[in-house]
Amino acid sequence: MDKTMDGPGLFSINPFLPGYEYIPDGEPRIFGDRLYLYGSHDEAGAPFCCTGDYVCWSAPAKHPVHWRFEGTIYRRAQDPYVRKMMDTANAPLWNTCLFAPDVAEVDGAYYLYYGVGMSPSGLAVARAESPTGPFKYQPIAGVHGVYFVFRCDSSDLLDFLSFEFRRR
């Protein structure tokens, strides 16, 4: 059986994405008239999870049947901590992983929040002008309490950059 077949084939993990694509802990988001899927990116045959660069898939929001690959939206090596770990001899693989991303739109910009291996902060953010990137690392110098950046519930958002609590 062809490992690249579409649909719920023998090798498919995601019944709506191609069988070769592994996107665990997916976060669907609707921006405009499209549904975007963000998530960790596992690579087939990799010795550890979350070793891939972030990719994005999208489909029409009203009829999410025909999914389109939007490409790589953020590379692991763009994160300074991960890049440092990739350049360090014998660094544990889990120090180079990105996991559990989510994207939020704030004032016309898109913010990719993600987990960073075993970094001291645990979380990081990247910014783009489009929901499909390309996202660029956003430094968070001097910010404390970064563990409180994610959505409190489906209608509230803590703005990572200003720590302003916004009601949606």
DSSP codes of every residue in 83-136: HHHHHSTT--GGGG-EEEEEEEEETTEEEEEEEETT-SS-EEEEEESSTT---E
* DSSP three-state, residue 165: strand
Does the pLDDT value for residue 150 go beyond 80?
no
Does the pLDDT value for residue 168 go beyond 70?
no
Mean pLDDT of 121-134: 90
* DSSP three-state, residue 157: strand
Does the pLDDT value for residue 126 go beyond 50?
yes
Mean pLDDT of 6-16: 53
**pLDDT > 90: percent of the chain:** 29
Mean pLDDT of 132-144: 75
136 pLDDT tier (thresholds 50, 70, 90): very high
DSSP, residue by residue, 45-73: T-SSSS-SPEEEEEEETTSTTS-EEEEEE
Q: What would you measure as the largest C-alpha separation in the chain, in angstroms?
A: 52
Mean confidence (pLDDT) of the chain: 75
Mean pLDDT of 5-27: 66
Q: Give the global pTM.
A: 0.74
Q: What is the CATH number of domain 27-167?
A: 2.115.10.20
At residue 103, the pLDDT reads: 93
Highest mean pLDDT: which of 50-54, 112-116, 130-134, 152-156? 130-134
